[in-house]
């Protein structure tokens, strides 16, 4: 009887039979693949854990050094700073949260106050332990510093008339001066107290009202290292809302007429008898020594000279008269002095442009003695001489009226510092060389200005904006609005150049188009900020305070004109790219505009502004039908929106609410409302501290 296991001894072995039995192959293959699959999955899981732990460890380290550095009052890493460091690290990383062990952290500060730290932790392996992998270590480093690599700050400050108003008995302009000075102190103190590694800090200033003052910006010999511009950035010929004088023709028959512009000249002399029948003039008389014969006033024995009041103010010598017509009675005699002559003649001239008629009159022939009694020995004689000028009655051009209209003036010398001489008035005595019209400057430049009121003025520094367009939508800013393009330069054409305001030659004309009238309108008013714009430069506190003290209130509120100049000064591109793109040694620049106002945009319709006479010129409104103040507000908002991402804008509403334009202009969290001097000071201090805040180095 065969045994159950006897098959082993047949011709087939167990392995041979197993290999031929395909029913068990799947199980065997699966079992063989389990081990490498565990390695792959375990490696992925543990690698993900290591990445997560390292990331959270780095984040905890960064947050901890930042908190610790903020807590340092000096460059020393003191107990308070250590506690802040540990608390922030532990808040962000706990072993229990990540199944790590043995986490350690160390921090220290160098002599400049830079806080550096390292952190490490053990990461236990999970599935990879099967393959013999032990715990892994994750290590990170971090550091933080109060660092101001380079900072640019432009103060755009409202100096309008309302800044003279009081809040709690203190003029707003005085509160602004105090707060601005404190800003400088706070920023410097904050950096020094925190051991800051400070880079370059530059300050710029744009005091604005309805205009800005560019006297210190545009120079004949500009210092480009200070951000000054050449005078070529200003136009040579400016269009001004001005006036011209019109003249009409009078006279013309060529006859001699009494000159209406010259009053007769009267000279009267009295002679007294003396010893030896000698008559001599009063000792203070300018006439030559005179002798009279025959004890009467009939004869003269010498030449007499008189000053004649003509163009050359020359003296004319009158030849002796042997007797007076009419004998001993009262009589007269007439002589003539022709144009270009010095000798008198008895005949009236027939040629020339003018002559003098000289009339003699003997006024008295009186006998007297020292006591007033008449005797045969003493006599007094009085003679009167009358000089009358006659001119040709030729065609003349006399003033008729004014036409109020745009006039182009050459301002090349004016912008360089020379004064403009101009006629303020014209009366009936002035004669023009030909028919008009003549501008006030042309009148004042004539050789004969008799009958003109003459004055002069020089440039105070205020500027009118370059070419723009009258539109209602500024999203995006129209290409034709060159005044809002704060990046473009000035070299392309006059459209890109600014215009020195010619205030004394600007006339309002009742907000109408060209107006011809005999009525005289006075020069239009305008307010130019006394404080001049300053481009970005390093400045010490003494000079900073001195500049701030120069601020004086006056004028209307034009927010857009302040903002556009602030952006021009601080933009990394544009006219000042060479000094704004990077700081010294290629360092980055943190850019800030601090914009302050005490009111909403107000249009100065009848006053000279950065856009001429608002209603007369219509540079902003045109035919839009929209109020100028509304359009200025929209332009301001468009400028604020244009800065995003390159410049930080801080806005302060002083004595007014932070709404509308101002709130929308400022960056989030950077709009302040200051209701009094204390609030204003706190706002400036807060901004200074934020600007000097920490920046993570690594």
Chain segment 5-58, per-residue pLDDT in tens: 333 344 455 545 545 555 555 555 555 445 555 444 445 566 777 888 999 999
Residue 406 structure tokens: 């745009």
**pLDDT computed for residue 634 by the predictor:** 94
**pLDDT computed for residue 273 by the predictor:** 46
Question: By C-alpha distance, which of 237, 240, 234, 236 is closest to 214?
Answer: 234
Farthest CA pair distance, the chain: 213
**pLDDT computed for residue 428 by the predictor:** 85
User: Residue ranges of the alpha helices (H) in 385-487?
Assistant: 412-415, 440-444
Separation of CA 435 from chain center: 40
- Tell me which residues of the chain have a pLDDT lower than 70: 1-46, 126-134, 146-149, 193-198, 267-333, 342-344, 360-384, 694-698
Which H or E element spans position 506? none
**pLDDT computed for residue 485 by the predictor:** 93
Residues in Cβ contact with 263 at an 8 Å cutoff, skipping those fewer than 6 apart: none
DSSP state of 443: H
User: How many angstroms separate the CA atoms of 402 and 427, rounded?
Assistant: 12
**pLDDT computed for residue 537 by the predictor:** 97
**pLDDT computed for residue 10 by the predictor:** 44
Beta bridge partners of 150: 200
Contact 360, 330 (CB under 8 A): no
Contact 247, 435 (CB under 8 A): yes
Beta bridge partners of 609: 612
Locus of tokens 């392996």:
125
User: How many angstroms separate the CA atoms of 449 and 503, rounded?
Assistant: 23
Bin 435: left if φ > 0, else alpha if -120 < ψ < 50, else beta. Answer: beta
Contact 55, 49 (CB under 8 A): no
User: How many angstroms separate the CA atoms of 656 and 660, rounded?
Assistant: 12
**pLDDT computed for residue 188 by the predictor:** 86
- Three-state DSSP at 406 gives strand
Beta bridge partners of 25: none
Contact 648, 687 (CB under 8 A): no
**pLDDT computed for residue 147 by the predictor:** 63
User: How many angstroms separate the CA atoms of 463 and 5, rounded?
Assistant: 119
Contact 632, 553 (CB under 8 A): no
């Amino acid at each position: 009887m065969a045994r159950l296991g006897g098959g082993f001894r047949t011709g087939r072995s167990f392995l041979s039979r197993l290999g031929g039995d395909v029913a068990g192959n799947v199980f065997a293959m699966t079992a063989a693949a389990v081990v490498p699959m565990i390695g792959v999955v375990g490696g992925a899981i543990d690698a993900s854990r290591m990445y997560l732990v390292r990331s959270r460890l780095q984040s905890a380290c960064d947050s901890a050094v930042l908190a610790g550095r903020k807590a340092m009052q000096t460059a020393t890493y003191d107990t308070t700073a250590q506690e802040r460091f540990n608390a922030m690290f532990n808040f962000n990383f706990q072993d229990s949260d990540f199944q790590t062990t043995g986490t350690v952290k160390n921090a220290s500060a160098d002599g400049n106050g830079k806080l550096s730290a390292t952190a490490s932790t053990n990461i236990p392996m999970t599935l990879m332990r099967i393959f013999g992998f032990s715990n892994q270590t994750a290590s990170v480093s971090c550091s933080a510093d109060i660092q101001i690599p380079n900072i640019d700050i432009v103060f755009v400050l409202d100096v309008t008339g309302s800044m003279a108003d009081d809040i709690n008995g203190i003029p707003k302009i005085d509160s602004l001066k105090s707060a601005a000075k404190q800003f400088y102190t706070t920023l410097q103190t904050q950096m020094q107290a925190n051991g800051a590694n400070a880079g370059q800090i530059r300050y710029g200033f744009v005091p604005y009202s309805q205009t800005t003052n560019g006297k210190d910006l545009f120079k004949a010999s500009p210092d480009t290292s200070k951000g000054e511009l050449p005078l070529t950035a200003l136009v040579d010929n400016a269009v001004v809302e001005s006036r011209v004088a019109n003249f009409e023709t009078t006279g013309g028959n060529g006859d001699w007429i009494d000159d209406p512009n010259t009053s007769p000249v009267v000279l009267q002399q009295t002679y007294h008898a003396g010893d030896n029948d000698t008559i001599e003039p009063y000792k203070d008389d300018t006439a030559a020594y005179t002798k009279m014969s025959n004890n009467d006033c009939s004869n003269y024995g010498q030449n007499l000279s008189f000053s004649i009041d003509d163009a050359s103010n020359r003296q004319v010598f009158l030849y002796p008269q042997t007797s007076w017509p009419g004998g001993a009675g009262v009589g007269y005699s007439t002589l003539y002095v022709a144009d270009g002559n010095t000798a008198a003649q008895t005949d009236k001239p027939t040629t020339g442009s003018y002559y003098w008629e000289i009339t003699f009159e003997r006024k008295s022939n009186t006998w007297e003695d020292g006591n007033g009694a008449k005797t045969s020995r003493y006599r007094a004689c009085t003679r009167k001489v009358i000089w009358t000028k006659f001119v040709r009655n030729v065609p003349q051009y006399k003033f008729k009226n004014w036409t109020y209209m745009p006039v182009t003036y050459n301002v090349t010398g004016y912008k360089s510092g020379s004064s403009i001489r101009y006629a303020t008035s014209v009366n009936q005595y002035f004669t023009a060389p030909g028919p008009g019209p003549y501008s006030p400057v042309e009148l004042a430049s004539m050789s004969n200005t008799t009958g003109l009121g003459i004055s002069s003025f020089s440039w105070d520094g205020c500027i009118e904006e370059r070419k723009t367009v009258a539109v209602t939508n500024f999203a995006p800013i129209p290409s034709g609005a060159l005044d809002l393009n704060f990046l473009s330069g000035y070299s392309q054409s006059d459209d890109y150049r600014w215009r020195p305001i010619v205030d004394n030659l600007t006339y309002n004309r009742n907000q109408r188009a060209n107006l011809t009238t005999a009525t005289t309108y006075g020069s239009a008013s305008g307010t130019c900020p006394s404080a001049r714009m300053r481009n970005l430069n390093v400045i010490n506190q003494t000079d900073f305070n001195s500049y701030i003290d120069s601020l004086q209130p006056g004028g209307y509120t034009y927010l857009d004109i302040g903002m556009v100049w602030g952006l021009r000064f601080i933009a990394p591109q544009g006219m000042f790219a060479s000094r704004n793109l990077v700081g010294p040694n290629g360092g980055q620049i943190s850019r800030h505009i601090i914009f302050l106002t005490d009111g909403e945009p107000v249009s100065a319709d009848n006053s000279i502004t950065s856009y001429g006479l608002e209603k007369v010129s219509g540079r902003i409104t045109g035919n839009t039908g929209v109020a100028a103040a509304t359009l200025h507000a929209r332009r301001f908002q468009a400028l604020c929106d244009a800065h995003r991402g390159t410049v930080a804008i801080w806005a302060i509403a002083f004595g007014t609410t932070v709404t509308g334009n101002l709130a929308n202009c400022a960056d989030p969290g950077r709009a302040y409302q200051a209701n009094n001097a204390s609030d204003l000071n706190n706002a400036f201090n807060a901004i200074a501290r934020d600007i000097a805040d920490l920046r993570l180095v690594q």
